[in-house]
């Protein structure tokens, strides 16, 4: 099952929960300090994780919509 990482802004504790089992800020408490200031961890927010949007830039630059790199027609 997919896991989500969360971080407590009060004590800095990072923990994982199964995807879909909790909602940040709602009824979720930090398992270490009991604080309610819990948010998704930076490393779990989808930046550079692959998946949707991956592959942009690098070899894909200049392809797709014309613009720079577009040859003569």
Judge residue 38's burial from the number of C-beta atoms within 10 Å of its C-beta, 0-12 exposed, 13-18 middle, 19 or more buried.
buried
What structural domains does the chain harbor?
Answer: 1-47 (2.20.28)
What residues contact 60, with CB distance under 8 A and at least 6 apart? Answer: none
Contacts with 43 (C-beta within 8 Å, 6 or more apart), sequence order? 5
Q: What is the pTM of this model?
A: 0.54
Question: Between these two residues, 57 and 14, which has the higher pLDDT value?
Answer: 14
Edge-first strand order for the sheet with 38-40 is 14-18, 3-8, 38-40
pLDDT tens-digit series, residues 2-51: 888 999 999 999 999 888 776 655 678 899 999 999 888 888 776 555 55
């Amino acid at each position: 099952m997919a896991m989500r990482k969360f971080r407590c802004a009060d004590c800095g504790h990072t923990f994982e929960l199964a995807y879909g089992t909790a909602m940040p800020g709602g009824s979720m408490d930090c398992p270490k300090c009991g604080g309610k200031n819990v948010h998704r961890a930076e490393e779990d927010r989808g930046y550079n994780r692959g998946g949707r949007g991956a592959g942009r830039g690098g070899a894909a630059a200049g392809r797709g919509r014309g613009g720079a790199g577009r040859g003569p027609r």
